Amino acid sequence: MSNLLERALAFHSAPAICGIKASNLVSINYSDTIVSEIEELNKKYPNFGFYILRCDGEKVLVLIYREYRLKNELFKEDNIIFLSDLGYDTSSLDSLLYCLKERMNYSEFPHEIGVFLGYDLEDIKSFINKDRCLYVGYWKVYSNVEEKKKIFNKYTRCKNCVMNLVNKGFPIENFMR
């Protein structure tokens, strides 16, 4: 794995890699080898998904997830209803990811991407409705601010811990076993 990809994964997706978050998005500068590196990660780590949502020749946008965590998040009853109402095929994880990828072609970031990232559904709906935001952390918060601050703190501690270890020479792949 290239140093560029390893550092991007450590910084942007440590909570997903460590299993405390459903998924993370990583935007990586395009290179001749980056897509093949991502394909190799999918083969090497079957419990993870490295799903390319967009590749435009300059940037590659990848959704990194632990399959069981993302399925648990997406297939919550309220989330499935929400995605189904938006026209998503909710028959499988693959069909949901494909629909998200297709919607990425029509919108920079379709708001429902928050469901895939494990954001609170009520916060997603409030964002769509342009309600008054109470706090901004890993996402815009519209309710239960103190609870969300604790979640954000956990994500930050995880990221800092993983980055410290990677900076000391521990490969990010040690966290993916």
- Tell me whether residue 173 is in a domain: no
The number of distinct structural domains making up the chain is 1
- pTM, whole model, 2 decimals? 0.93
In this predicted model, what pLDDT tens digit does every residue of 73-84 receive, in sequence order? 999 999 999 999
* Residues of the domain holding 121: 3-162
18 found inside a domain: yes
The DSSP code sequence of the chain is --HHHHHHHHHHHHHHHTTSSSEEEEEEE--TTHHHHHHHHHHH-TTEEEEEEEE-SSEEEEEEEEHHHHHHHHTSHHHHHHHHHTT---S-HHHHHHHHHHHHTTSSS-TTHHHHTT--HHHHHHHHTTPPP-EESSSEE-S-HHHHHHHHHHHHHHHHHHHHHHHTT--GGGGG-
Inside any domain, residue 176: no
Q: pLDDT, tens digit, for every residue of 24-65?
A: 999 999 888 889 999 999 999 988 999 999 998 899 999 999
